[in-house]
Structures are given as structure tokens and as C-alpha cells.
Amino acid sequence: MFTKIKKRDGREVLFDEAKITEAIFKAAKAVGGADKQMAMELTLDVLRFLKQKYNGGIFNVEDVQDAVEKILIEKGHARTAKAYILYRYNRTRMRDAKSDLMDAVADILIETSRENANVSNSPSAKMLQIASAASKSYYLNRLIPEKLSIAHRRGDIHIHDLDFYGKTLTCVQIPLGKLLNTGFNNGHGFIRSPKRPASATALAAIILQSSQNDMHGGQSFAFFDRDMAPFMANAGEDEIYQAMEALIYNLNSMHSRAGAQVPFSSLNIGSDISPAARAVTRNILLAYEKGLGRGETPIFPNIIFRLKEGVNFNPGDPNYDLFQLAIRVAAQRLNPTFSFMDSSFNKEYGDQVSYMGCRTRVMADRFGEAVTDGRGNLSFTTINLPRLAINAERNLMKFYQSLSELIDMTCEQLYHRYDVQANLKVKDMPFLMGQHLYLDSDKLGPNDKLEPAIKHGTLSVGFIGLAETLTALTGHHHGQSEEAQVLGEEIVAFMRNKIDKASEQYDLNYTLLATPAEGLSGRFVKMDLKEYGIIPGVTDKEYYTNSFHVPVNYPISAFDKIRLEGIYHKYTNAGHISYVEFASPPAHNLQAVEDILRFMAKSDMGYAGINFPVDFCDECGYLGVIDQDNCPMCGQTAIRRIRRITGYLSTIERFNDAKCKELDERVAHF
């Protein structure tokens, strides 16, 4: 009857009516009504309909499928029709996924995605991003329950590091001292305990690299000064300095992380008052201050200086001189950032709280003592807070109801991911688990499942765009209105309360995160702009404001910004960070930096830093603010511009479009 049919890609191929019969038969079989003869008779009905409708003209695959649905319903086979429609939907979804994947691959082959500013544009980075795109497609279409997959696709939530959904965990605070003292095996033989400073820092770099190969997030040493101290015995200052300098060089050159990146490394220092630990802290800061080979500012490691009264915060404290050195280095190099051990939510843990450069904090544990070493975040997912506010149309009851429901869904999604992670085996993460970096992993064998270890980790619900949320609900953000600030605290407190209840419900360590939105900052607003159009103060720029921050383009004093943002740190127990912006490096106004840090401590912040431009001429080595296209010293245009992006440093050519726009709009607070 028919000879040809048009495929979806436009090609004309031979028509095969047997495919119609087979599709109908499979649909009937799915509902328990399989009958080959019936399928053949219905096929004839479909063919008659096509002949009548198209009168010899050519039709396409979709036309045939529409005809099958019509005939099944008209002939009284409603259940079979429903099964056929579901089959057709799933086929379409898989086909669209493959098409989207091919489009993503085509884009990556031209240039890697700038979702992450640590990713290069090298061939290996392209290959790894192609694998990432395929992995995301698989998880969204095959593994994640449809309700949760749709929520991510439409931008209600954002599942971070989706490409690693079922492969590994996010981050870990590495027990460096244990590994250095006992030795370890990174897959090619046993590495014995070091004897000298240079060996110790070399092994520290290898540990970071080896752990990074098993994970997708950050790698951190919670007590770098304490753990390195035993290996500084009988070493002079110069030897210790050289070892620390070599560590910094290694951490900026070991391209081993996914996407040909260097490891996301963080070092916590400053609270150990022993002479050897003081030497470690002093020399890692001095080496960072000196910079790389030609004076360039290092990108890694993130250095976090712990502040604590009686240890280093006040004149007369044994490590106060190191605090002063940390201020001096930060005023030139952006690092270190500073954590506050005496904040209301950190103080109960003494000096045990450690952060990562991206803001992650892991502390309380339902399954044991509250320690940092050997634990980390398992995964995190961010909710689109501004969208809820837009949909609420200034009805707070409606907003809170939808927020409650979305948090419940996000916790469900995190539990699904946890269940997948918990069924991985020790041998799937041979260094992280096999060498016992993770708490209680030493009790497991190679073929054991990971749940007894990873239950110590955290599952985090994040949020973005509190400022835009408040604007949508009240007409003002929290920098503009004290009433908005009161509502902002109420919203974040509500979220924290919900998360605490989820911890009880699931008996897991659920926490609330002030999301470090990099690629996400532009994704949500782009989708919401398309859906709702331009809403002043909400969707009228290319990014949503980071977590609970006051908008970067809002003129406000540093102290007012600190006062407003400090309130939110105590609620976001998964991590938080606040910044103030200088127009230029405050290297000649160190007292101002110290005053700011003291006010941050007074405002109950947990983790904070200072921002300013750091520009470097690759030709002549000029270092300073270069507010033109060419170097003021040599006239060349090879300018390396380093800025802080979401807790870590990067050169601005690696920022994505949304973050570039945010960077352009940042205003100084002095």
C-alpha cells in the first residue's frame, strides 16, 4: 500500500508495516492483552486511515504514531493506547536526550564549558567534558526518578556535580597526620613516612592529588600546621620555607582533577602554638606572599587562617604575630581567608572547625563525635528560591508552602543519591576508602559497601538569590530595607528548621548551605527570565545574587554589609562565606583589614575574606591594579587578572558569562 516514509531527520526510507504491528503488540503485552492477530488487524485499520488521510502522499513517523493512538482509542483499546503513549513518550525522551547530548558534544569540541572557572580548554579537558555530558544525560534519563529529574531540568532545583551522581562523593577533610605517620599506598606501591620537610610537603601534594582522583569536589587539610609539625624537627627556617614553596608550586601545576584542573586544595592553619607548627604557618604564608616563579599570585591552595581568642586574635596571644602576617599576605594576595572559632555556632567545638575555600563546613555528626578529619560533604542540591517568590505573587503563605514542599523534594532527591552512593564499594574509591581517609573506612574490606563510612558525611540543601527573593516578595532586598532583612532571616531560619527535621526523618546529617553558585548563578535566572519576563530587581540581570549576600552592585559600607550578612552564618551549618570589596589591594592599610576582621567576628560570622583586583603583567612582572588593556610599565597586553569567584581564585578569562557580568558590577565598599 505504501512504499516510503519520512524519518525525523528528513530522510525517506522504505515503509515497513510490520513495525506498526510490533509496536501495537508490545503495548498490548505491557497491559496483559498480547494478541498478535489483534495487532495485525489494528495495523490494517491504521493503514486504511493513513491511505484515506494522505491519499498516496508521503507522511512521517510522527504521523504514523498519531494514527496508531487514534485507532487504538477508537477501537476500544484504551489500556493498550495508554501503554503505547507511554512507550512513545519514553522513546521520544531518549531520542531528545541523545540529540541534546550530541549538541553538547559539538559545543565542547569548539570550546569547553565555563561552568567551572578552574577548567582549561585543553584536549584532555574537552574529552573529560564530553564524558561529563554523557554522564549527565544518563543519570537524568535512566537513574534519577522522573519527578526529581524534571525538577532539575525545569530549574526548580539544581543537582550539583550531576555528572558524578552515582560515582563518588563531593569533598573530604583529609587526616594528613595519620597518612604521613603511617604511610600509604596510592596504587603503585607503599609510600613510607617522610623524614624531612621537603618530603613531607611532597607527600602532602601526592595525597591531595590521589584523593582528588577519587572525588569531584574539594580536598582539604583540616590541621595542616599541626599535622606537618612533626616533620619540621631540626630543620632550619630556610629548609621549611623551601618545602612550603615547593608545595605551592605543586598545587598549581598538578593537572589531575576532572577537566584537566589542579586539585581544589585548602589548608587550615593558625591555631597550633607549638614552635614547629608556628614555623609551618609562618613559612606557608611567606611562600604564598612571594608568589610563583615570576611573582604571580597562586591560584591554589586556598589558605584558611583560624582566628581564636587566647591563641592568635589579640595582642599578647602566642600566635598574634602570625595573625598579623596573615593580614599582610591577604592584603596582597587575596589569601588567606579567615575562619572564626569563637562565633556562636563554632565556639562549642573549640578549634576543631575547618572550612574549605569554597565555604564548605562539616561538623556535627549523628553517628559519632563532632570531628572534622575524615569527613566531608556527600552531595548538595540548590533550590531556586527566587522562582518560589515570583510564583507566590507576594503571598507569604503561598511562598512558605511551596518552599516547604520544594525542600521536602530536595531532601528526597539527596536521599536517593545517598542510597546510590551508599551501595558503592570500597574498591570504587581505592585511595579515599582503601587508604582509610574517610572515617570508619578502616573497618571495611574492598568489596564492602560504603554506607558505614559515608553516613558520617553530610547531605546539603542549598539556596541562591535571597536578595532577589526578598525583592519579589516585598519590593526591596535586605540591603535596602530592615523589614526585608527581618523577612530574610525568617526565611533562612525556616529553611534551617526544615533541614533539621529532615535529619531526624532520614537519620542522616542533612545541613543547610549558602550555595557557592558559579555556573548556577546564570542558569536559574536565564530560565526564569524566559518564563516570567523582566522583573525589576529580580530577573533584570544575568545572574542571581550568591546565597544570602547583599547584591554586589548595591552601594553599601563594608560594616553595614557585614552586619547584615553576619546574621545568616549561624543558620547555614553546611557552609557560608562573606566578603567585602576593596578597589585596590589594601597592602598599605593593614589596620583597616584588621578592623574589618574584628567587626566580622563581632557580627558572628564563621568564615570571610577580602576581595580586590590582582593584576599581573606576564611580560615584565608588574603587579598592581591595571585598569587598562596594556601594562603601564611595558605596554604589553598579556595581563593576568585574578579575582575571587566563589571562594577560590581564578583568572577572569575562565569566568562564565554570568560571573563576568557579576564581576563587572561589583562595587567597592570603601
Buried-exposed string 143-169: b where 16+ CB fall within 10 A, e elsewhere? ebeeebbebbeebbbbbbbbbbbbbbb
The pLDDT of residue 649 is 86
Q: Can you tell me the distance from the alpha carbon of 330 to that of 326, in angstroms, rounded to the nearest whole number?
A: 6
Q: What percent of the chain has pLDDT over 90?
A: 71
Whether 133 shows a pLDDT value over 80: the answer reads no
Pick from 7, 2, 15, 3: which is nearest to 51 by CA?
Answer: 2
In what helix (H) or strand (E) does residue 265 lie, and over which residues does it extend?
strand 265-269
The pLDDT of residue 81 is 83
Q: Can you tell me the distance from the alpha carbon of 535 to that of 520, in angstroms, rounded to the nearest whole number?
A: 19
The pLDDT of residue 167 is 93
The stretch 16-25 carries a mean pLDDT of 89
Q: What confidence tens digit (pLDDT) does each residue in 144-161 have?
A: 998 999 999 999 999 999
Q: What confidence tens digit (pLDDT) does each residue in 391-424 have?
A: 999 999 999 999 999 999 999 999 999 999 999 9
The pLDDT of residue 426 is 97
Q: Phi/psi at 401 (nearest 5 deg)?
A: -65, -45
- Strand, helix or coil for residue 620: coil
Domain parsing of the chain, residue ranges: 1-143, 149-169+360-574, 172-349
Whether 385 shows a pLDDT value over 70: the answer reads yes
Whether 227 shows a pLDDT value over 90: the answer reads yes
Cell digits of residue 551? 547584591
Q: What confidence tens digit (pLDDT) does each residue in 74-88 have?
A: 988 888 888 877 777
The stretch 533-540 carries a mean pLDDT of 97
Phi-psi map region of 625: left, alpha, beta (phi>0 left; psi -120 to 50 alpha): beta
- Strand, helix or coil for residue 383: strand
Whether 114 shows a pLDDT value over 70: the answer reads no
**No. of H helices and E strands in the chain?**
21, 19
Q: What confidence tens digit (pLDDT) does each residue in 302-358 have?
A: 999 999 999 999 999 999 999 999 999 999 999 999 999 999 999 999 999 999 988
Cell digits of residue 209? 592529588
Pick from 407, 498, 414, 413: which is nearest to 458 by CA?
Answer: 414
Q: How far apart are the first and last CA of the chain?
A: 81
The pLDDT of residue 233 is 86
Strand 157-159 relative to strand 265-269, pairing: unpaired
pLDDT band at 646 (very low <50, low <70, confident <90, very high): confident
Q: pTM, whole model, 2 decimals?
A: 0.84
The pLDDT of residue 77 is 87
Average pLDDT, the chain: 91
pLDDT band at 654 (very low <50, low <70, confident <90, very high): confident
pLDDT band at 259 (very low <50, low <70, confident <90, very high): very low
pLDDT band at 96 (very low <50, low <70, confident <90, very high): low
The pLDDT of residue 104 is 57
The pLDDT of residue 594 is 98
The pLDDT of residue 197 is 98
The stretch 132-136 carries a mean pLDDT of 77
The pLDDT of residue 265 is 94
> Under CATH, what is the fold of the domain 149-169+360-574?
Anaerobic Ribonucleotide-triphosphate Reductase Large Chain (3.20.70)
Half-sphere exposure of residue 434: CA atoms within 13 angstroms, side-chain side: 17
Q: What confidence tens digit (pLDDT) does each residue in 540-568 have?
A: 999 999 999 999 999 999 999 999 999 99
The stretch 231-257 carries a mean pLDDT of 92
Q: What residues contact 254, with CB distance under 8 A and at least 6 apart?
A: 205, 208, 209, 262, 263
